[in-house]
Amino acid sequence: MTTTTNDFRPGLEGVVAAETRLSHADGQRGELVIAGFPLEELAGRATFEEAVYLLWHDHLPTKDEVTGFAADLCALRPLPEATVHLLQEVAAKSVPPMDALLMGAATLNLDSPATAEQQALTILARLPTIVATYWRLCHGQEPIAADPELSHAANYLYMLTGETPHAAQTRALDTYLNTVIDHGLNASTFTARVIIATESDLVSAVVGALGALKGPLHGGAPGPALDMVFEIGSADRAEAYLRAKLDRGERLMGFGHRVYKVRDPRADVLSVAAEKLFQEAGDSSLYDLAKAVEQKSIDLLAVYKPGRNLQTNVEFFTALVLHGLGLDTDLFTPTFAISRAAGWIAHCFEQKATGRLIRPSSRYIGEMDREWQPVEIRD
């Protein structure tokens, strides 16, 4: 195919740079397909282990397959001593958990596993241990060893809090992790594919992807969506608060999406998960407030931004689910990463199979024909 520099697309918008069987986000219809399953069919039913297996093997696992897969992950959860030492050093400086995760993840090459599959399992198994270990160290608490009896999701909550979560909490976290496991060629996934396409290794690809996910335009927005709900405090204050924000030209966090021009399907799945979680806990007041804020926001956005069809996005209910699980807002993006790593790794395997280096072109807009001047005579 011949391309010219006239084909320049800022931000690569609309450029198809990969083929994938992993996920498809249809922004016009508001649909997300994960390895052939509509999100709504899969997210609230599968365990995270089943969803990862599906992405990595392109079929749902049998009972024996998922048992073996979960056991393999479980065995790899403990961190090498060097990783724990690094996290201790980093905790002394109180860096944000996402930076600590990035640094901790970079040590996962220390073990040099035999195969790429082993390396993939090691990364997936250890990211939650890194986050939980760091979180506890930062708060002056002893890290908690993984519990081999617990699933990936339940064990993450256990390592953070020291309490075994009840079934509804584990289900809510599984649903969240499944909902954000993959989302087409987003920035972090593209980053992972670019790195692996150079025949670099999976740890490097995941570390690069973590760097991309860290940015507020990608993975860093759920905190502010929840802050807004808390600041509003009661449903009768929502309209005045939201109008004031829109009058100042500010954006309502948790609404609008670059891809979805109708409602983000992940918002619905997570809204149901949040409703069940808060009901089970016996207090739905925050959920009810969030729903009231959501409805008022959609109504006002239609007035202030007519024709834009600005709807609720994934971040709004992510915040509610993760808060309902007792997670601090600083843990929201690292928890997103724990799930999305499964998608990054699946994309890396897909990309490797193509054997193709990713190397776009650029259009040169700089000076031409400059002449060298010795430093003594430069102005």
Residues near ligand COA (CB under 6 A) are 221, 251-258, 301, 305, 308, 310, 313-315
Output the six-digit token pair for 101. Answer: 């995760």
At its nearest, how many Å lie between ligand COA and the CB of residue 216?
8
Q: In this complex, which beta carbon is closest to ligand COA, that of residue 19 or of residue 247?
A: 247
Annotated catalytic residue 31: no
At its nearest, how many Å lie between ligand COA and the CB of residue 183?
10
Give the CA-trace dihedral at 16, 21, 22, 24, to 10 degrees.
50
Contact 318, 176 (CB under 8 A): yes
Contact 90, 105 (CB under 8 A): no
How far apart, in Å, are the Cα atoms of 325 and each of 59, 167, 298?
30, 12, 26
Q: In this complex, which beta carbon is closest to ligand COA, that of residue 120 or of residue 327?
A: 327
Q: Alpha-carbon distance 334 to 220, whole Å? A: 9
Q: Which residue is nearest to ligand COA (CB)?
A: 256
At its nearest, how many Å lie between ligand COA and the CB of residue 90?
27
Q: What is the CA radius of gyration of the chain?
A: 22
Find the helix packing angle between 116-138 and 332-354, rounded to 10°: 170
Q: In this complex, which beta carbon is closest to ligand COA, that of residue 104 or of residue 254?
A: 254
Q: In this complex, which beta carbon is closest to ligand COA, that of residue 166 or of residue 308?
A: 308
Q: Among 257, 294, 323, 347, which one carries the catalytic annotation?
A: 257
What are the start-end ranges of the E strands in the chain? 23-26, 31-34, 37-38
At its nearest, how many Å lie between ligand COA and the CB of residue 304?
7
Output the six-digit token pair for 67. Answer: 């048992």
Output the six-digit token pair for 155. Answer: 């064990």
Annotated catalytic residue 257: yes
Q: In this complex, which beta carbon is closest to ligand COA, that of residue 238 or of residue 253?
A: 253
Contact 97, 334 (CB under 8 A): yes
Q: In this complex, which beta carbon is closest to ligand COA, that of residue 146 or of residue 322?
A: 322
Output the six-digit token pair for 77. Answer: 């959860």
Q: Alpha-carbon distance 315 to 321, whole Å? A: 10
At its nearest, how many Å lie between ligand COA and the CB of residue 46?
23
Strand order in the sheet with 31-34: 23-26, 31-34, 37-38
At its nearest, how many Å lie between ligand COA and the CB of residue 348?
23
Tell how strand 31-34 and strand 37-38 pair up: antiparallel
Contact 287, 275 (CB under 8 A): yes
At a CB cut-off of 8 Å and minimum separation 6, what does 285 contact?
none
At its nearest, how many Å lie between ligand COA and the CB of residue 191?
17
Q: In this complex, which beta carbon is closest to ligand COA, that of residue 269 or of residue 314?
A: 314
Catalytic (active-site) positions: 257, 315
